[in-house]
Amino acid sequence: METLSAQKALLVNCSESLILDHGCCTVLEGNAMDLKDILLVNLSGLLLKNLDQIGSCKALKICILANNFLTKIDPLIECVSLVKLDLKGNQITHLPSASFWSNLKDLQLLNLHDNTIADRSNISALSGCPRLTALTLYDTPLSLKRNYRHCVVNSLWSLKALDHHVISDQEIVENWCLHPKFKTMSVREECNSSQYTANPSLPRSQHILD
């Protein structure tokens, strides 16, 4: 307990000076760098406990916040130009709602592994992110649940890779939630069904994690 308390006492705020010290931009030499000019910032492993000033980085495209002590990421809603966001190794349990993610219209890469995310409602929240292409959620309580991968794949339509593995067409169509009358099939029916393929125009099925 003493060690944990001592560690918490060392946690720092995400200050303007910290961002400027660890950020990059395209400001011409000799000009002062401002938060609004930051395009990339790497704040990994700095014992951050919040993101107080990050919302001022309006042009931010790449944000590395790995291995800190973050529990809330709400200020990032102001970083509307984000393309890559790395939040691995924090203490995040609940993600913001879909309205938060819908504001990040350019976000394509999101790392959330090694957090304490457990509830399946977090997947629904991420569905608000319109261009999300690659996502990591391994090493979380959520990733240990039955049908985890299949649920995520069929909930986030824009996703192309999950946990560093490309999503295949088979993952999208297999194990669909069929009507009960089709669940018990005879051998003849199983054989006959193999000649048909899924209609690609149909929406992905909704799956529930236990």
Q: List pLDDT tens digits, range 45-89.
A: 999 999 999 999 999 999 999 999 999 999 999 999 999 999 999
Question: For all residues of the chain together, what is the average pLDDT?
Answer: 84
> What CATH number is given to the structural domain containing 10?
3.80.10.10
Number of domains forming the structure of the chain: 1
Residues in the chain: 210
Query: Is residue 209, in this structure, part of any structural domain at all?
Result: no
Query: Is residue 207, in this structure, part of any structural domain at all?
Result: no
Q: What pLDDT, on a 0 to 100 scale, did the predictor assign at position 173?
A: 58
How many angstroms separate the CA atoms of 46 and 52, rounded?
14
Closest of 122, 142, 144, 126 to residue 134, by C-alpha:
126
Domain region containing 48: 2-193
76, burial (CB in 10 Å: exposed 0-12, middle 13-18, buried 19+):
buried
Query: Is residue 141, in this structure, part of any structural domain at all?
Result: yes
Query: Is residue 73, in this structure, part of any structural domain at all?
Result: yes
How many angstroms separate the CA atoms of 1 and 7, rounded?
10
φ/ψ of 77, rounded to 5, equals -60, -20
Range 177-198 average pLDDT: 37
Per mean pLDDT, which range of 78-87, 92-101, 171-180 is the poorest?
Answer: 171-180
